[in-house]
Amino acid sequence: MCALKLYTFFILSWKCGLTALRMFMKSEHSEENIEFWMACEEFKKIRSRSKLESRAKTIYDKFIRPDSPKEINLDFYTRESLQQSLLIPTQSSFKAAQNRAYFLMEHNSYPRFLDSELYHRLCRFAAGER
């Protein structure tokens, strides 16, 4: 696993790091990717068929539907594949779209986050500095 991917995974699995990354992405007006990624993480935990269907529709309407409030950037193939998988949703229905959002964060927002003052303050905090 490359170092960038390892650091990205660490930040996303650490509550304080995730909060900082969300704040940074919000400041860049790109928070839809991380919010979508987080919604997908929660979606994967659902076991009830009716809850899966309801939550899938909510996620689709918020992040996938064209002109939705927080529409994420998906290629045509991923969008079409997702629409087909939502006919009978499973915990993995959003996998390809979530991977795309992760890729965009990893290669666009995350490198800028690592250069940001917010990230440097977070590192000083984690090291016990003030």
In tens, the pLDDT along 28-77 reads 888 999 999 999 999 999 999 999 999 999 999 999 998 998 999 999 99
Q: What is the pLDDT of residue 122?
A: 77
Give the DSSP letter of residue 71. Answer: -
Using alpha carbons, select from 82, 92, 83 the residue that is nearest to residue 44: 92
Give the residue with greater pLDDT, 45 vs 122. Answer: 45
Q: Which domains does the chain have, with CATH numbers?
A: 17-126 (1.10.167.10)
CA distance 121 to 53: 41
CA distance 64 to 12: 22
